[in-house]
Every structure is written in C-alpha cells, then in structure tokens.
Amino acid sequence: MAVKFSDTELFKKPMELKTIEQMLGQKISVRAPYRITAEAFRMIYNEGTFISMEQ
C-alpha cells in the first residue's frame, strides 16, 4: 500500500492524539490510514488552525 499526501500544511496549534480521539469519541490508530467523516475533518482542522486572541 502507498499513501500519497498533497496540499499538506502544519497546524498552527498542534494537537495530541488523545484530543483527536476525544473529539471523535473513539480510539484511532495512526499505523494505517483511517477514514473519517467530512464533519470530523472540519472539527479537527478548525481546532488545529484556530488561534485564540487570548494567546
């Protein structure tokens, strides 16, 4: 199997795996590709790219 990445970007606010698991409500594996819904992607992306004005 091969995985091709395109249009990758770093999050402004890195996230721990346990935070993502809490958001999705399930354990996930990072050893293999993991399919998520479009809504789950939006939640993770928004959390990782949002910078609070409090910082």
Is residue 55 domain-resident? no
* Confidence at 53, pLDDT banded by 50, 70, 90: low
pTM beyond 0.75, yes or no? no
Q: What is the pLDDT of residue 20?
A: 92
Encoded tokens for 38? 């479009």
Give a yes or no: residue 38 inside a domain.
yes
Torsion sign, CA atoms 20, 24, 26, 30: negative
Q: How far apart are CA 42 and CA 54, in angstroms?
A: 22
**Average of per-residue pLDDT values in the chain:** 84
Residue 23 lies in domain: 17-49
Given the structure tokens 């609070």, which residue do they identify?
A: 52
More confident residue, 52 or 31: 31
Residue at 26 is within a domain: yes
Q: Quick check: 13 and 51 in contact, CB under 8 A?
A: yes
Q: Give the DSSP letter of residue 52.
A: -
In a domain, 12, yes or no: no
